[in-house]
Amino acid sequence: MGTILGGRGMRGGWILAVLSLLILAWLVLNDLVDDWGRLEGGMDNLVIFVEESMWPPNWSVLEAQSYPVCENDIELFCSVGYLGMMETIKIAFVSTMLGFIGALCLSSLAARNLVPLYVALPFRFILAAARSLPSLIWAILFVIIIGFGPLAGVLAMTFYTVGYLGKLQYEAFEGMPSDCLEVSRAMGLSHPSTVVSVVIPETGNHLLSQLMFMFEYNVRHGTVIGIVGAGGIGYYITTYLKFLQYDKVLALLIIIFFVVVIIDLLSLMIRSFVTDEGDVRRPTWLRGMIKLWKKRRASTDAE
Amino acid sequence: MSTQQPVLELKNVDIGYNDALVNNVIARVLPGEIIAVLGPSGIGKTTLIRTIAGLVEPLQGEVTLHTKKKGGLGYIPQRLGLVRHASVRHNVALGAKASISFSKTMFEERRNRVDEAVKALGIEDKLKEPVRRLSGGQLRRVATARALAQRPQLLLADEFLSELDHKNVEIVIEAVQQLLEDGTSIIMVEHHEENVRLFATRIWVIEDNQLHDYSLEEWEQSLEEEE
């Protein structure tokens, strides 16, 4: 009996469950869509749109704008692509850092293994509330409250970051080994001391990884909040969309893609310094650079 | 009975999680005493230590700690409770941090205590090393150094001498002598009889849900009678 349930019978049950869910999904979709005829010719439309409007990307977004007059020797630094991307990165950086600190304060009061349930619940509620509004809605709210510009973007992303990172952080805290917390409790360390000296160092790798993920997320979402006037590269994307300059939009999207890839590489590099050896492998070029740097330092010391 | 003020008093305490593992414990610990808790696995030794540490509520009775100073209770659990991703210095400093009050000289005092503790345990060359890279014996020495830097009035140690070779046991015991000179009491769970003879002044044996309090001589005698 046990073999049947744990073996083929169990597998059959799983297959049946997945199939039933797929059929249910199809039925719901069928109910939602009233005209399947719209799909007809959709692919042709896409090809025409890409060929005629988007491709090739218009790299003039990396040339200096005609106004204001560029005073820099390097034209790129006065271009829409560079200025927009830099503003988005700055907004993302500031809001990630502010959000990280805010989230740490709240999540240390929301983790069940650090505080009693009656303390944790209200803080979990606050974090859930901050998270339940997408960054775009936060951006619209702040644009209404304080007007257009990067400050609205920073505040919107900070609030969202607090909610999102806060949840990830208290889950990481709750997953940490209990023995070091018990020692600090028995020794009589205060809650802030326990958080600073035990919890943060013990979960440091998770926190760093979440921080890098959030920065990358904020860079990507910085483009979206720009659309509602909260600053960054999104502002230029909306403008080009309004004027049907899809080739320029594509060029900006490619720039965003490269920046996200670079942030991903940076994240990998930073995490390789703090994780257990072999856990996150350093890229070959980084290992080469570290070796070279050590060699140079050794030769300087010898001199 | 001694008139000395005890560090710890257990009055009619029932110990356990849902059902009592040890019933009606009546005991007191005086300054400078070293108590070895003995008994087979699963009998309630660790639960007793955790109850005294305040991590488990007693089912009944009263556990009273008469430690006046900050960080008066030290604890070395079976899994040592070290911050794995931090350095040896950081871990040892936690002990000092728990017991030194806020003052102008606190940072200097902390540093001195850490330096003294790691020197006593022979791990001064590992200060910057992350704890996760150390061997089992070295980890136990770090946990002991943390307790040394804390200078508690009562130290609870759950099998802190196990997994140590003879040489390391000697190093740890020699280092702990410093605490004993300051009047620290120790309650330790121990399995090896030779360590008990080397170190303990009194024995608590948990048997048939009861805690029996013996002097070292009484315990030796009971062993002989059993044989």
Return d(Cα B82, Cα A180) in angstroms, integer. Answer: 6
Which residues 6+ apart lie within 8 Å of B98 measured at CB?
A184, A187, A188, A189, A193, B70, B71, B150
Contacts of B150 in chain A (CB under 8 A): 187
Instruction: Give the pLDDT mean for B175-179.
Output: 85
ipTM of predicted complex: 0.89
Residue A7 has pLDDT above 70, yes or no: no
Return d(Cα A231, Cα A236) in angstroms, integer. Answer: 9
Q: Cβ separation of B90 and A201 shorter than 8 Å? A: yes
Each residue's pLDDT tens digit, A175-185: 999 999 999 99
**Cα nearest neighbour of A179 on chain B:** B81
Q: Residue A56: is the preceding peptide bond cis (ω within 30°)?
A: yes
Listed residue (A216, A256, A228, A218) closest to A84, CA to CA:
A256
Q: How many CB pairs under 8 A join A and B?
A: 73
Q: Cβ separation of A179 and B53 shorter than 8 Å? A: no
Contact criterion met (CB below 8 Å) for B214 and B203: yes
Instruction: Give the pLDDT mean for B37-42.
Output: 90
Contact criterion met (CB below 8 Å) for A252 and A107: no
Closest Cα in chain A, distance from residue B152 (Å):
9
Q: Cβ separation of B98 and A187 shorter than 8 Å? A: yes
Q: Residue B58: is the preceding peptide bond cis (ω within 30°)?
A: no
Each residue's pLDDT tens digit, A148-176: 888 888 899 999 999 999 999 999 999 99
Contact criterion met (CB below 8 Å) for A215 and A147: no
Contacts of B97 in chain A (CB under 8 A): 189, 193, 197
Contact criterion met (CB below 8 Å) for A169 and A138: no
Contact criterion met (CB below 8 Å) for B131 and B111: no
pLDDT of residue A29: 92
Interface check for B53 against chain A (CB to CB < 8 A): the answer is: yes
Tokens of A215: 């920065």
The predicted model scores a pTM of 0.79
Contacts of B83 in chain A (CB under 8 A): 180, 197-198, 201-202
> Three-state SS for A298?
helix
A61: β partners:
none
**pLDDT-derived band at A4, boundaries 50, 70, 90:** very low
Interface check for A182 against chain B (CB to CB < 8 A): the answer is: yes
Each residue's pLDDT tens digit, A213-260: 899 888 888 878 877 777 778 888 888 888 888 988 999 999 989 988
Tell me the DSSP string of A93-141.
HHHHHHHHHHHHHHHTTT-TTTS-HHHHHHHHHHHHHHHHS-HHHHHHH
- From the candidates B47, B75, B99, B110, which should be mutated to test the interface with A, based on the most A CB atoms within 10 A? B75
Q: Cβ separation of B70 and A188 shorter than 8 Å? A: yes
Contacts of A205 in chain B (CB under 8 A): 85
**Which of A276 and B67 is assigned the larger pLDDT?**
B67
**Look-up: residue for tokens 């540093």?**
B111
Return d(Cα B71, Cα B82) in angstroms, integer. Answer: 17
Listed residue (A223, A238, A291, A240) closest to A53, CA to CA:
A240
**Which of B176 and A267 is assigned the larger pLDDT?**
B176
Closest Cα in chain A, distance from residue B94 (Å):
7
Contact criterion met (CB below 8 Å) for A188 and A256: no
Interface check for A44 against chain B (CB to CB < 8 A): the answer is: no
Contacts of A271 in chain B (CB under 8 A): none
In this structure, chain B runs to a length of 227
Burial, A90: exposed, middle or buried (Cβ in 10 Å; 0-12, 13-18, 19+)?
middle
**Look-up: residue for tokens 């991703």?**
B85
Contact criterion met (CB below 8 Å) for B160 and B143: yes
CA–CA distance from A111 to each of A29, A209, A283 (Å)? 39, 19, 35
Beta strands per DSSP E along chain B: 8-16, 20-29, 34-38, 60-65, 73-76, 154-158, 185-189, 202-207, 210-215
pLDDT of residue B198: 81
Interface check for A186 against chain B (CB to CB < 8 A): the answer is: yes
Q: Cβ separation of B81 and A183 shorter than 8 Å? A: yes
* CB nearest A201 (choices: B71, B76, B85): B85
Instruction: Give the pLDDT mean for B5-14.
Output: 92
Contact criterion met (CB below 8 Å) for B156 and B204: no
Interface check for A192 against chain B (CB to CB < 8 A): the answer is: no
**pLDDT above 70: percentage of residues in chain B:** 99
Tokens of B89: 């210095």
For chain A positions 78-117, those within 8 Å of chain B (CB to CB) are none
Tokens of B18: 């849902």
Q: Cβ separation of B86 and A201 shorter than 8 Å? A: yes
Other Cβ atoms less than 10 A from the Cβ of B66: the count is 15
CA dihedral sign of residues A61, A64, A67, A71: positive
- From the candidates B67, B85, B139, which should be mutated to test the interface with A, based on the most A CB atoms within 10 A? B85
Cα diameter, chain A: 81
> Three-state SS for A1?
coil
Closest Cα in chain A, distance from residue B64 (Å):
14
Return d(Cα A67, Cα B133) in angstroms, integer. Answer: 58
Each residue's pLDDT tens digit, B131-145: 988 988 899 999 999
Each residue's pLDDT tens digit, A130-141: 988 888 888 888
Interface check for A193 against chain B (CB to CB < 8 A): the answer is: yes
